[in-house]
Structure formats: C-alpha cells, structure tokens
Amino acid sequence: MEIQEERKPKSLLKKTILYFKKNGAKKGFKKIHNKFFRLETVSYEKWQKGALPSAHELERQRREAASWKAEAAGQGKEESAGRYPLFSIVVPMYRTPPEYLEALVLSVRAQTYDHWELCLADGSETPCSACFGGKEEDERIRYRFLEGNQGIAGNTNAALSMAVGDFIVLADHDDLLSPDALYCLARAIRADGTADVLYSDEDKTDKNGKKFYDPHFKPDFNEDLLRSLNYICHLLAVRRSLAAEAGGFRADYDGAQDYDFVFRCTERARRIVHIPRILYHWRCHGASTAENPESKRYAFEAGKRALEDHYARLGIEARVAHGQKPGMYITQYARPYDPLVSVIIPNKDHTADLDRTIRSVTACTSYPKLEWVIVENNSVCSETFSYYESLAREFANVRVITWKGEFNYAAINNFGVSQASGEYLWFLNNDLEMITDDCVDGLLNPCMRPEIGIVGARLYYGDNTVQHAGVIVGLGGVAGHAFVGQPRFDCGYMAKDWCTQRLSAVTAACLMMRRRVFEEIGGFSEELAVAFNDVDLCLKAGRAGYGVLYNAQVEAYHYESKTRGLEDTPKKVARFNGEMDLFKEKWQKELQAGDPYYNVNLTLARNDFTLRNPYEIDYEQRVK
C-alpha cells in the first residue's frame, strides 16, 4: 500500500485548473515555471529511452540465463536454487478484465529469464478463460478456480499454495512486469545467496498499458521509512520458505495485506536487497488504489494495525497515528526513563537570536531534565555578557563556558561536550526557532532506541521554505541537503520530505545523539572546522553500526549562518575548498558507492529528486 496520489484528470488543462483551485495562484504559477522553464530536468520519457534495456541487451540476458540453466544441470536442489532459482509468480484474481490478465501473462511470457511458474487463483463468480483459449499450452501457467471469493489475502494464499518455486514473486492481476524483471532478481540472488527479500523500483501505466509515468525510485532497505509508508510495494520477491515461516497473508489486513506481509518477512530476513531498476508497472484505472485512494480507504486503517502489530512483535512500545496523507503513518516512541539532556549552543554575540532559540525550546517542551551549555566564542559586544548574566539568573540550568580559540565549529562543540553532564547531547545552532510541541520527545525518544545513534529534524528558512530535510551524500559532488527551497507544506518526491526515515546524515544545526556514541566515534573531526563536520559525524556513527534518523515531525526555523556569516572572502573560500577535499578523501569509498538512502537513477546535480541523465548510468550500476 503506497502513498496515494489523487486521481489524475484526463487533460492537462483540467489538471492545471484543479491544481490552481487546490493550491492557489502562487503555487500554480510556480508549478508551471518548474515544469516548462527548468529545462535542465530530465523527463521520464527521456529517461526511459536511455535506461530501458535494448533488444540486444535482452537477447544477451536470455543467453546468460541459458548458461545458468546449463550450469545448474546436475547440481543438487539446494545449490541449484541459489544459482538458478525457480520463481513462482503469485497472482490473486477477482473479476479480472480479460484484457488486463492477458497483458500480465504476456509480460510474464516475455521474460528473458524463463525459469518461472505463474500461479493464478481466481475467486470470481465464473472461471476466466483469458490467455488460455486459442493459445499454445504453457505448462508453467497454473490456474485454479476457487469456490467463492476469499478476499485479497485468501485468494493470494490460494495462489501461494500452488507455488513450488524457490522464491515467490507477488503481482496484481492487472499489472505488468518489465521483460528483465526475473533476470534481475535471479542475478541478485546469484550474487548473494543470503538474499531472502528482494524489491525493485516501479512506475505506473495507464489503463491501456501504453504510457508509463510517476516512477518510484526507492532507497535501499529503510525500515523507518517502511514504518512511515509502504514504499516497497512492487516488485517484491520473497524466499518461499521465509514466506511460509512468516505465515502467508492475513485476511484481517485485507487492503494492507501486503504491508503486513512485508513487515513479517523483513523482520525475519537475513538480507534484504533493493534492485534500483524499474521492473514493475502498476496499472492505474478508476478502481485501482494507485489511481484513486478513495477506492480502498479501509486499507489505511488495516495498515495502521499492521504497523502496530509489527511493533508488538518486536517488543517496541510505540503509538501509531495516521500521517498527513492516506497511507502515511507517524510513530511516537515511548521513553523508558528521563535522562539528562545537555543542549550545547556555540554563540558569538547575536543575543537576540540566542534568546529566541532558548525560549522557543522552553515554550515547546516541558521536559524536566535539560541543561544548557552556551559556548561563548569571542563575542565583542558588552551587551552579550550582560545577557549571559541575566540568563543565568533566570534559568538555574544554564551555564556559559568560554572557548578562546578561533572559530572551529567542531572543536567548539567537542569542548562543549567535555563540560556537559548529559547522557544525551543536543547540538543546536544559536539561530534556531523550535516550532514543534514536545520537540524533546520527538528527538530523544527515538534516539533512545539502541540501534539509533543520531536523530535530526526538519528545518525551514524564515520564508517557510525547506532548509534541511536530511542530507544526501554525493549531492553536488560531496553532500547536500534534500529539498532545499521547497515550500514547507509540499511533501516532496514520494512524500520523502514528510516521512521519518533513516538517512546517511542530518545537519548538526539541530541534532541529538547519545553521549556514549559520541565518545565511541571520537566526536566531531576538528580538521573539518566549519564544513561537512556534521556529515562526517553521522557517517562515523553509521560506520560504527548506528542508524541516523531524520524525524520529519520535529520542525524548526533555521536562520542560517547569521553568527558566522557567509563564505564570501578568499580565506573562507580557501578553507571551505580544503575541507571539502579532506572530506572527499576520507569518505572516497562511500562517495563512489553512492548514498544507500538515495537512488542511482536520481540526479546529484539538484536536491529535488529529479531524474538523472540515464546515459550517465551504467546498466551494471542499476542491476548491481
């Protein structure tokens, strides 16, 4: 169950009018400008022309698959399953339009990897003869007419009971597989015999199956994103033994039975593999969830229960609420106890900004155990020191300590930590204004999860555009913030802006982490005095095995760089370039591998998740 989009009008004019009515003239004209004047963007049509496998490539795949078959001959069953797996494509049917089923079957028959079986379980009132009558028999296609409709889960389980393959592949009765879908799955399984769950990117197709649009390019497995919405969807393949262990599909979750199933499988999987390639086409028509969210509103309640059950199985105490759009969910984690949190804020003059930061936090939380550590760094205004004195008189939990060296953001924060007492560290810039109630809960509670090392927030400029929605490693050649400049109330590509999720890094302008993790990884790297030290900190935490979480529900305004100023002098530019080179050298392997929470098919030249020029991407990168 993917995040749902509103049903598309039939014409561009109607679509434009509807957008203006819903979003107003300002956003409407901006949408038109972005669509027609940002000429550097790559259209999906252009992307397809460069990215889809050629006839020559498809023929090469057939030859390679034939060599795998020959290699598997004479091998034992277990070894053969890892080198030449049999795929059981499981399809529940109910009142399937014959032309849709025929298109699905043809897309399966067109696979370059031919070691498959198609298991069709039909719960319709009368048997379906589509794709069989008048056509050559294909013993790989197995059809069972059920005695009555058993619902989505029941019909799927009936199809699953027919399967004898090594892996099951889930498909809807009206959708299409790309011709290289099974080849890409088999190749990934051959590369890693521990792969238990595999999924790919996908797009949508119109009711005629001729036009393709709305590509969904996904990250590698991201459990926290999955807890925000079912981003996995299709194409999904699961080792059949694991599917049996998970218990198949449950009728209590009809409408979100796939979401429930994905949780139970990924909880048990040894390895989950993402193939960054469009291998599935989701057909959109009036009755489909992909096109019309109102057609299955009950599914969103079932999805909420599936997520609650997931937490219960893992022993995680949490409350689940519906998110901003249908199919999205918000998790509020319980806090086992109240640790001391040290709020560390470097400051040079700008007392009005600092005061706003402190008072916005105190207004947004009633958390009882905060200490404030203000790190004074070369202020020149006498009023600043008078302010510090008044602040200490007003708040017993505020301390001002002095860093006498030149500005070095990493060193100043390390010094602040050395003087702090908290079990948790909350790094804040002095130009933040928190606007989320219970902001400490939103950062601290998920940070207390043992697998999480760092939690960041969603930040805005003063004009209500996005300043930070997570960091993408490799963006702009090094690292950059996602969705910069996007309107605050836009949800971003595939709702990523609004979804709590794992990322490679978040900004230290508002970042919380466990002190133990901070000390384990050596704190901030002081050779990165100003630039990229927060990204470096996050990558070190990730290398040590801790997750970095972007909590989209914690929001603040960030009036960026007010204290330090801009990179507008030759000295500052030289320092920035030097630090950029240091970062690139230190994290060369990670930059070459690509950010696992991004996608190779998306551009690194822009921060809005638009498409990358397909001719820049090697086919090998997309099939791994």
Q: Model confidence over 265-313: pLDDT tens digits?
A: 999 999 999 999 999 999 986 555 555 555 577 899 999 999 999 999 9
- In-domain check, residue 294: no
Output the pLDDT for position 28. Answer: 63
Sequence-ordered list of residues with C-beta below 8 angstroms from that of 555, at least 6 positions apart, any chain: 434, 435, 436, 457, 458, 459, 460
DSSP three-state, residue 12: helix
Number of domains, the chain: 2
DSSP three-state, residue 528: coil
Range scoring the smallest mean pLDDT among 86-95, 281-290, 549-558: 281-290
Output the pLDDT for position 1. Answer: 45
Whether residue 482 has pLDDT greater than 70:
yes
- In-domain check, residue 26: no
Residue keyed to tokens 């958390």: 367
- In-domain check, residue 23: no
Closest CA to 466 of 595, 560, 332, 599: 560
Whether residue 317 has pLDDT greater than 70:
yes
The pLDDT-based confidence of 27 (bands split at 50, 70, 90) is low
At 541, which CATH number? 3.90.550.10
Sequence-ordered list of residues with C-beta below 8 angstroms from that of 27, at least 6 positions apart, any chain: 19, 487
Give the span between the Cα atoms of 37 and 566, in whole angstroms.
29
Q: Where are the alpha helices (DSSP H) in 315-364?
A: 351-364
Percentage of residues in the chain having pLDDT higher than 70: 88
Output the pLDDT for position 576. Answer: 87
End position of a domain, from candidates 257, 287, 317: 287
Mean pLDDT score across all residues of the chain: 90
Residues 239, 91, single domain; the answer is yes
- In-domain check, residue 24: no
Residues 73, 205, single domain; the answer is yes
Residues 237, 369, single domain; the answer is no
- In-domain check, residue 213: yes
Between 371 and 20, the more confident residue is: 371
Residues 72, 200, single domain; the answer is yes
Range scoring the smallest mean pLDDT among 39-43, 184-188, 205-209, 419-423: 39-43
- In-domain check, residue 98: yes
Whether residue 241 has pLDDT greater than 80:
yes
Residues 370, 509, single domain; the answer is yes
Whether residue 4 has pLDDT greater than 80:
no
**493-523 confidence digits (pLDDT tens):** 999 999 999 999 999 999 999 999 999 999 9
- In-domain check, residue 292: no
Residues 510, 585, single domain; the answer is yes
Give the span between the Cα atoms of 103 and 133, in whole angstroms.
14
> Which tokens is 240 given?
């059949």
Residues 282, 386, single domain; the answer is no
Residues 283, 345, single domain; the answer is no
Identify the sign of the CA torsion 616, 618, 619, 622: negative
Burial (0-12, 13-18, 19+ Cβ within 10 Å), 335: middle
DSSP three-state, residue 529: coil
- In-domain check, residue 41: no
Residues 277, 379, single domain; the answer is no
Range of the domain at 551: 341-615
Residues 281, 345, single domain; the answer is no
Residues 225, 356, single domain; the answer is no
Output the pLDDT for position 292. Answer: 53
Residues 282, 367, single domain; the answer is no
Whether residue 432 has pLDDT greater than 70:
yes
